[in-house]
Amino acid sequence: MIPIYIPEDYKEMDLNRLVAFMKEFDFATIISWADQKPIATHLPFLIEQKGDTVEITSHMARANEQWRSFNETEEVLIIFQGPHSYISPKFYDSNRSVPTWNYASVHVYGTPHIVTDDRATLELLRKTIVNYESSFENAYNQIPMEHKSKLAKELVGFEINVTKIEGAFKLNQDKSTKEQERIAQALLSSEDTAISGIGKLMRENLGF
């Protein structure tokens, strides 16, 4: 796949920061190809980092035809979209500035491997439950295996062999520190989490 266009100033190369971002915004979009057409599904993803290796897993309904397009020799793309916001030129020093849009996103490329074992699929489901609602694990464990086995056959679990991770964090890096601080402060005051989230990332980028 053709890599995402990222101007040099906006490239995020820190793997730890990228993984933390992916974990925070883990409801992502997986894109693959079927009959020369793109197909996408929005899914929660589990992300684990082991040194320089990142493991990504998820599952979808077996009725979802996208999994049939998965091929271990062809890459898929997973997009983790973070906060974003319109940026007014009123915050800039120059009166010749124009509006822009700040955002943060991570693109992950990799080859998919379908989990074919029902027990492995159920373990993936258990990990997903524990990740989002650990207090439900005991109740899940009490569900009869017969019912779980039926559930496993309705799902398709998969793992992604990650080949590349690209981060685009457009946070007004082309402006002065003073301007960036001014913008971040204004964004942080918003009740809209998408807007205040960008303000938070801008402050982190400035070292605050």
Exposure letters 146-158 (e unless 16+ CB within 10 A, then b): eebeeebeebbbb
Average pLDDT of the residues in 30-42: 95
116-132 pLDDT tens trace: 999 999 999 999 999 99
pTM: predicted TM-score of the whole model, two decimal places: 0.93
What is the set of domains in the chain, with CATH numbers?
A: 8-200 (2.30.110.10)
3-27 pLDDT tens trace: 889 999 999 999 999 999 999 999 9
Residue 175's pLDDT is 95
DSSP 143: S
Can you count the helices (H) and strands (E) in the chain? 6, 8
Q: In DSSP terms, which residues pair with 77 in a beta bridge? A: 31, 109
Helix H or strand E segment including 37: strand 37-44
Average pLDDT of the residues in 152-181: 96
